[in-house]
Structure 1
Amino acid sequence: MKSQIKKHPLINTLINLEGNQKACVYTEPLWGIPYNLYAPYATLYMYALGVKDQQIGLLLSIGTVLQVFAALFGGIATDKLGRRKCTFIFDLISWSIPALIWTLSQNFWWFLAATIFNSLWQITSNSWNCLMVEDCPPNLLVSIYTWCTVSGLLSVFFAPLAGILVSKATLIPAMRIIYGFTFIVMTAKFFILYFYSTETKQGLRRLEETKNQKTSEMLAGYKDIFLLIVRTPATRMILAIMTIINIGTMITNNFFGLYINMNLLIPESYIAYFPIVRAAVMLIFIFTVQAFINDLPYKPVMTIGAGLYILSNTLLILSKPQGYGILLLYMLCESFAHALLIPRKDSLLVLSVDPKERARIVGLMSVMMLAITSPFGWITGKLSEINRILPFVLNIILYVACAVLVLFSSPLAQHDNNKDADTIKA
């Protein structure tokens, strides 16, 4: 039995991880556990402290605009500081500091301050991904990103503790405790990752190449990077997919809890249990079906994933007050969709860019994605004020566009025909 478990493709990958891949994947639960404790209640916490729907949407848009600038400098910071050092510094700034502010928040202005610091996570997102993947064999990328997903899903099982705390202490005191815990655990994670990781080979090269370059010179170089992105079909494709998924995720993360609490009359103390059901379903899917479809072509798998997102949002809209059955179906479809689509999107981002300029290309692609995304926080907030169903109607439209894009993508077809290549050439 033990030997059979070790032979499972994903388990085998996890056991044999080395270097930065091991450091990044093994420490990820220390971020995922506190995040999944507070995430289901974050919007309700703001609402309880007097922040209205439109203000929540405004905070999302402000955060997204600031993330544009953070992502723009993310590639430069990653190259000039190094992947490892950049990740450590900006993890502390973008997660530890906001956690302290959220702990003490009193009104909209506190959340605005936290949003400003938290928006810098775009910098560490770039550097952390480079740290994890740059010395990694391309054939392991989907498995490694799947383990990042699994790490987050396992963390979700701690969410009932948040529900119990909310039911015992009420929402606001409970969230202050959770955010304090978040500060301690995430900060520990950032120190552990720093001490157990090393700078990547590409990171060392970029440190040497950029040590005498001024930031202004590197910014000027973004013109060529921009032209490279827009002229390359593969990067245009993944940029469009990234943007659609980012908007859809933002809508779900920020308005699902509010919708099921206010419209479907699901008690606050029950909300933490929905991510658990979702995580359990997704884990079963990943370790049964997903592990054995990693070698299948991306195009049909990603098209099915987008289709399941469409179905899940449709079910959510059709759900009646306290309609737990349809909500369960929603979570089944949404879980399968996430497991099919997200790891492949992440690996395509790595495969579609020039390794020599990965930090700046990914940074600028994030800027472009966020620039398109930025109005949607405010738009979604306005839609939610009109009718809390409308954000999920927008989600359906977005994932229809995603399905069409994937289905007719030439670069994706090229990748499927040459899946052992280190990059997507078309």
Structure 2
Amino acid sequence: MKLLADLPKNPRYSIFLEPLWAIPGTIVLFYAPLYMKDAGLSDIEIGLINSINLYFAFVFQLFAGSITNKLGRKRTSLIFDIVAWSVPMFIWAFSQSFWLFMIAYLLNATSKFVTVSFNLLIIEDVEERKRPKVFGIMNMIITAAGVLTPLAGFVIADFGIGKTLAVIYFAGGVMMTIMFIVRNRLTEETEAGKELIEVHSQTKVLKSLGASLRLFGKAFYTRRLFPIIIITVLSNFILQLNFFQVVFFKEELHFGDWTISYIPVVTAVTVMVLYLVVIPRLKQRSDEKYVSLSIALCTAGSLLLLFIPSGNVPLLMLTIIILAAGTFILQTYRDALLMNRLGTHEKADMFSAVQTVMTLIAIPSGYLTGLLYNYSPKLLFAVIVALYMVLMAVVFFLPVPSRQQQVMKANHHV
């Protein structure tokens, strides 16, 4: 494909294979809250599972950078993709109790290792100016898989959400396992990864962890990097708070399963039009400008969500379009902005440290979301609007971009 011809083999093969994760993953993640409610879990129990998942994710995230440097990007991705996705998908297929969901979500928390290793595997050998393209295509594939959600909606209407999702979880586990093994065969360790495996081969994990946290501490005194970290961490926290969005649409706004199943489709079409038509025609802007635009869109969409009348499909879809555009641009350019401002040999440690803080702050979000939603569903989404307004204030502190400058100077460390 011409679109991928200028990319190295790691991102190219990963992009080709991503649909094997994205298709089942998008469907089950979208319907997960309804699947758990169908199994008899309460709002509080769902929120508690999310918080415990995030707590263990925080613990695993502490070691993600050091493990990735020690084992390599490729091997770490294979091991923990299977532990975090293949095994839980099979458990979820048979989950009918709080404890089975809990076990699956605890295993899924190890995906934090993959968050670091896979992002580095697909991005480290890519030219800096092409990194937003890689993130953009990956995000587009995941979002585009949402066009299949109405098909799941058809089946759910006939067989119920429990039976339908159980089959999709099981089939998804098979598809993902095949994908992880094939991708491992086709990709290769990055150049920086090879160097760091050698450097860290005799380094103890705890010592490496200490070095990463010290490096992260220095970042707080770096004026150019600090607001980028705040935006990354806080926007992820907001994403966690949105967990009950689909439940809100069904229970509070009284939209049917058929209408709800089209939300991922509208999201996917919005993202594809943005990536393939709109963004290529825009004047070339810095990553900082795109991040600012995305936060403004997310704020507007979240505010509009509060005023959707019960059963008003056109206003629902307009809100979804604005939120989809804002979220896609934010995730694409926020991640590229962070990666481009980190030094070559600090990427694993710094990215892992940012993810650690992100997860630590997100830990209470699951339980907090359940409590807020249980008390007042609209209050939860009002809090989200307030947090986006905080991000709009942080945007003003983003530095004026310089010519491809990296904030953290590249140097080797043990």
Assess same fold via TM > 0.5.
yes
Which residue of the partner structure matches residue 412 of structure 2? none
Summarize the alignment of residues 126-165 of structure 1 with structure 2, pairs less than 5 Å apart. 126-165=116-155
- Is residue 330 of structure 1 aligned with residue 313 of structure 2? no
Give the one of 318, 322, 329 matched to 1:340: 329
Ranges in structure 1 where 5+ consecutive residues have no aligned partner: 1-10
- Is residue 34 of structure 1 aligned with residue 24 of structure 2? yes
- Is residue 374 of structure 1 aligned with residue 357 of structure 2? no
Give the one of 332, 335, 352 matched to 1:363: 352
- Is residue 63 of structure 1 aligned with residue 28 of structure 2? no
Please say which of residues 100-109 and 333-342 is displaced more in the overlay: 333-342
Aligned length: 409
Which residue of the partner structure matches residue 231 of structure 1? 221
Does the 8 Å CA contact 1:290/1:339 hold for their aligned counterparts? no
Which residue of the partner structure matches residue 321 of structure 1? 310
Letter in 1 for 2:406: T
**Alpha carbons of 1:298 and 1:203: their partners in 2 closer, same or farther (altered >3 Å)?**
closer
Q: Whole-Å Cα distance in 2 between the matches of residues 51 and 12 of structure 1? A: 48
Summarize the alignment of residues 19-30 of structure 1 with structure 2, pairs less than 5 Å apart. 19-30=9-20
Task: Give CA-to-partner distance per residue, 1:267-318, whole Å, 9 cap, x none.
Answer: 2243221110111122112211112337213333322211111111122111
Task: Give CA-to-partner distance per residue, 1:160-214, whole Å, 9 cap, x none.
Answer: 2211121111111111011011101111110111010001111110110111112
Task: Give CA-to-partner distance per residue, 1:336-357, whole Å, 9 cap, x none.
Answer: 2123222110101211222112
Summarize the alignment of residues 214-363 of structure 1 with structure 2, pairs less than 5 Å apart. 214-252=204-242, 254-293=243-282, 295-363=284-352
Does the 8 Å CA contact 1:299/1:407 hold for their aligned counterparts? no
Which residue of the partner structure matches residue 7 of structure 1? none
For residue 157 of structure 1, give the secondary structure of its aligned residue in structure 2: helix
Does the 8 Å CA contact 1:163/1:270 hold for their aligned counterparts? no
Which residue of the partner structure matches residue 5 of structure 1? none
Please say which of residues 17-26 and 69-78 is displaced more in the overlay: 17-26
Summarize the alignment of residues 200-215 of structure 1 with structure 2, pairs less than 5 Å apart. 200-215=190-205
Instruction: Tell me how far 1:12 sits from its aligned partner.
Output: 4.4
Q: Whole-Å Cα distance in 1 between the matches of residues 131 and 3 of structure 2? A: 10
Q: Whole-Å Cα distance in 2 between the matches of residues 58 and 217 of structure 1? A: 33
Give the one of 375, 384, 394 matched to 2:383: 394
Does the 8 Å CA contact 2:233/2:354 hold for their aligned counterparts? no
Q: Whole-Å Cα distance in 2 between the matches of residues 238 and 408 of structure 1? A: 9
**Alpha carbons of 1:222 and 1:29: their partners in 2 closer, same or farther (altered >3 Å)?**
same
Task: Give CA-to-partner distance per residue, 1:346-386, whole Å, 9 cap, x none.
Answer: 10121122211211111111111111121122111111001
Instruction: Tell me how far 1:233 sits from its aligned partner.
Output: 2.5
Ranges in structure 2 where 5+ consecutive residues have no aligned partner: 410-414
Instruction: Tell me how far 1:154 sits from its aligned partner.
Output: 2.2
Alpha carbon RMSD of aligned pairs, Å? 1.6
Letter in 1 for 2:347: R
TM-score (norm. length: structure 2): 0.95
Does the 8 Å CA contact 1:31/1:189 hold for their aligned counterparts? yes
Instruction: Tell me how far 1:422 sits from its aligned partner.
Output: 5.3
TM-score (norm. length: structure 1): 0.92
Give the one of 171, 174, 180 matched to 1:184: 174
Does the 8 Å CA contact 2:341/2:408 hold for their aligned counterparts? yes
For residue 188 of structure 1, give the secondary structure of its aligned residue in structure 2: helix
Does the 8 Å CA contact 1:290/1:340 hold for their aligned counterparts? no
Does the 8 Å CA contact 1:312/1:330 hold for their aligned counterparts? yes
Task: Give CA-to-partner distance per residue, 1:226-275, whole Å, 9 cap, x none.
Answer: 322222233322221111211121222x2111000101111224322111
Instruction: Tell me how far 1:108 sits from its aligned partner.
Output: 1.1
**Alpha carbons of 1:298 and 1:222: their partners in 2 closer, same or farther (altered >3 Å)?**
closer
Question: Percentage identity across aligned positions?
Answer: 25
Q: Whole-Å Cα distance in 1 between the matches of residues 224 and 40 of structure 2? A: 45
Q: Whole-Å Cα distance in 2 between the matches of residues 271 and 188 of structure 1? A: 30
